[in-house]
């Protein structure tokens, strides 16, 4: 019951061929479908048709797709969103290639999400019958799956309330200003057992901070770093560890300037996970655990 995971990211890129090279050769995704001005890609360990849509023209997010278990979930979420005061709409099967009917919601933070239940099944690259551990033809960093997205919002508390009240997400970690009179400046929210499936930090509405690819462990992260150097990728931060989630990470940019992350580790959440709180004075440790210093770009660079 409920939202299962981030199913797809629909992203704008200024140059589609440069983006194709970055997401497939550098990060290891496969192009599964092409339309004029648009590419659909997936990672080797994902079983649905695609997880990334690249659209030529501009930069930043078009929308995020969250996969839900049942049609009843979609109806329930649509009603709750409308009661909350958000604008909703219906998405017809086929409007998104290989995706069934869904509900589109304009968040209070001006981002667009689409909830759906069906996407064409194509299987992981290793398959479901006596599988190998990873594909022999894995390219570049060999990312496993798209894991989460972080977006800025002028009012993180409002969009957090939306996700909790309408979509049954819970905050795993929150960042507040002063514990005595706390203003919410960041929230990392989950719908399953991942550290988070969506997150918001204080910043301009409608923009993208980053979306993240999952890797197995520290050595995969470090190897990805070498690949990024070989491919002249613009690096933001890392390799390092986050205090928030304990995950190891590199932040970097695609050729259009959209921020990506490769991320490994973290912990297991669940409905009874005790929410972690960070205070603003310790946010450097929360974001960049080893240096314990926030870098200027983390709070100012968005697309």
Nearer to other proteins, 172 or 250 (CB): 250
Nearer to other proteins, 5 or 259 (CB): 259
Q: Check if the beta carbon of residue 283 is closer than 8 Å to that of residue 208.
A: no
| Smallest distance, other proteins to C-beta of residue 229, A | 8
Q: Does the active-site annotation cover 23?
A: no
> What does 55-80 look like in DSSP terms, one character per residue?
EESSSEEEEEEEEES-HHHHHHHHHH
The Cα–Cα gap between 269 and 24 comes to: 31
Q: Is 15 helix (H, G, I), strand (E, B) or coil?
A: coil
The Cα–Cα gap between 66 and 228 comes to: 29
Contact residue for other proteins among 173, 197, 220, 254 (CB under 8 A): 254
Contact residue for other proteins among 145, 200, 278, 302 (CB under 8 A): 302
Nearer to other proteins, 60 or 192 (CB): 60
Q: Does the active-site annotation cover 209?
A: no
Element (H, E) at 163: helix 156-167
- By CB under 8 A, is residue 301 in contact with other proteins? yes
Q: Check if the beta carbon of residue 146 is closer than 8 Å to that of residue 46.
A: yes
Q: Check if the beta carbon of residue 51 is closer than 8 Å to that of residue 166.
A: no
Structure tokens that stand for 120 in this block = 């064409």
Q: How many residues of this chain bind other proteins (CB under 8 A)?
A: 24
| Smallest distance, other proteins to C-beta of residue 253, A | 4
| Smallest distance, other proteins to C-beta of residue 297, A | 6
- By CB under 8 A, is residue 287 in contact with other proteins? no
| Smallest distance, other proteins to C-beta of residue 224, A | 15
Interface pattern 44-83 for other proteins (x via CB under 8 A): -------------xxxx-----------------------
Contacts to other proteins from residues 255-274, by CB under 8 A = 255-259
Query: Would you tell me how many other CB atoms lie within 10 Å of the CB of residue 172?
Result: 24
Q: Does the active-site annotation cover 49?
A: no
Active-site annotation holder among 10, 22, 40, 148: 148
Structure tokens that stand for 146 in this block = 């798209």
Tell me the C-alpha to C-alpha distance, in Å, between residue 238 and each of 230, 273, 283.
16, 28, 16
Nearer to other proteins, 48 or 261 (CB): 261
Element (H, E) at 86: none
Q: Does the active-site annotation cover 22?
A: no
Q: Does the active-site annotation cover 214?
A: no
Interface pattern 228-247 for other proteins (x via CB under 8 A): ----x-xxx-----------
The Cα–Cα gap between 228 and 251 comes to: 11
Which residues make Cβ contacts (< 8 Å) with residue 296, sequence separation at least 6?
none
The Cα–Cα gap between 208 and 58 comes to: 13
Q: Does the active-site annotation cover 116?
A: no
List residues near other proteins by CB under 8 A. Answer: 12, 14-15, 57-60, 232, 234-236, 253-259, 296-297, 300-303
What is the set of active-site residues?
148, 196, 210, 242, 251, 261
């Amino acid at each position: 019951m409920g939202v299962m995971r981030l199913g797809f990211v629909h992203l704008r890129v200024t140059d589609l061929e440069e983006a194709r090279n970055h997401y497939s050769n550098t990060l290891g995704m496969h192009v599964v479908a092409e339309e004029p001005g648009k590419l659909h890609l997936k990672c080797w360990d994902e079983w649905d048709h695609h997880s990334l849509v690249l659209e030529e023209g501009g930069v930043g997010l078009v929308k995020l797709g969250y996969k839900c278990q049942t049609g009843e979930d979609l109806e329930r979420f649509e009603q709750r969103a409308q009661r909350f005061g958000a604008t909703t709409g219906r998405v017809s099967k086929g409007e998104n290639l290989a995706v069934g009917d869904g509900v589109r919601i304009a968040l209070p933070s001006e981002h667009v999400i689409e909830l759906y239940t069906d996407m064409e099944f194509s299987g992981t690259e290793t398959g479901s019958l006596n599988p190998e551990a990873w594909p022999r033809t894995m390219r570049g960093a060999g990312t496993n799956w798209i894991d989460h997205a972080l977006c800025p919002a002028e009012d993180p508390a409002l969009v957090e309330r939306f996700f909790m009240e309408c979509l049954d997400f819970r905050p795993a970690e929150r960042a507040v200003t002063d514990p005595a009179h706390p203003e919410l400046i960041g929230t990392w929210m989950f719908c399953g057992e991942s550290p988070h499936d969506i997150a918001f930090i204080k910043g301009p509405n409608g923009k993208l901070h980053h979306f993240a690819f999952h890797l197995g462990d520290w050595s995969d992260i470090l190897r990805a770093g070498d690949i990024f150097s070989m491919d002249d990728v613009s690096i933001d931060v890392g390799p390092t560890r986050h205090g928030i989630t304990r995950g190891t990470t590199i932040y970097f940019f695609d050729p259009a300037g959209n921020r990506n992350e490769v991320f490994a580790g973290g912990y297991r959440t669940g409905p009874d996970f005790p929410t972690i709180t960070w205070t603003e004075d310790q946010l450097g440790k929360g974001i960049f655990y080893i240096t314990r210093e926030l870098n200027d770009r983390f709070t100012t660079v968005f697309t």
